[in-house]
Amino acid sequence: MAFLPLGFAFELKTPLGIAESKSRIRECKQPWYDPHDGPRGFVLGRFICLWNSMVDRQGPMLVGWIHDDGTGCRIAGRSGSDINGMFYLCLVGALFPVIAVGLYREDKMGLSGAIILALSAAALILLLWSASRERRAGLVLADFLELTLGSNARHEFRRSPSP
C-alpha cells in the first residue's frame, strides 16, 4: 500500500463544458449549514473544494482544479481523509528540523528537549500513516462528482469492469 497521507489522486473527464459542470456541482451539493451529511463546499473560479459534513471539519475532503480540455472539461485533484489537517501537520513537521537546529545552536536542547522533539516526530509520523490508511474516506466525494457530472473517474480505488 502506498504512503499517501494527502489523499489519493483522481481525474474525471466529462463532455460537459466548464460552466455546465460548475452549475451542476453547485445545484447538487448541499448548503453549508444543512444538518444532514452529504457533499458541501464551494467552486471558486476553477478551484473546487468539497467536504462531507457540517459538523466534522476533519472528515473527508476533496480539492481539485477544473481544466478545459477542448471536448469538455477535466477535474483533477486529491480526495482523502482530512486533507487540510494533514497539510497543516506537514507544515508543522517541516518546522521540526528548524526548531532542533535552533535549540542545538543555543545549547538549550538537553535530553528533555530531544525527547519531546522525538515524541512529537513519532506522533506526526503515526498521524500521517493513519491518514494514509484512511484515504478511502474521500471516495464518497469523488463518487459524488462522478455521479453529478455523469462520467467515469480514474483513481486507485476504481474497480475493473466486470465481464
Give the pLDDT of residue 47: 95
Q: Give 52-71 pLDDT, tens digit per residue.
A: 877 766 678 899 999 998 88
Distances from the Cα of 105 to the Cαs of 109, 113, 149, in angstroms?
A: 8, 13, 56
Query: Tens digit of pLDDT for each residue in 106-147?
Result: 877 778 777 888 888 888 888 888 888 888 788 888 888 988
Q: What is the pLDDT of residue 160?
A: 45
Tell me: pLDDT of 102 over 50: yes
What lies within 8 Å, CB to CB, of 40 at 6+ separation is: 29, 30, 31, 32, 34, 50, 51, 52, 54
pLDDT digits (tens, 9 = 90+) for 32-45: 777 777 788 899 99
Q: Which of 32, 36, 50 is nearest to 144 (CA)?
A: 50
At 75, is the secondary structure helix, strand, or coil?
Answer: strand
Q: Is the pLDDT of residue 29 over 50?
A: yes
Tens digits of residue pLDDT in 76-91: 999 988 888 888 888 8
Q: What pLDDT is attached to residue 162?
A: 42
Has residue 27 got a pLDDT over 50? yes
Return the SS3 of 3. coil
Domain boundaries in the chain? 8-155
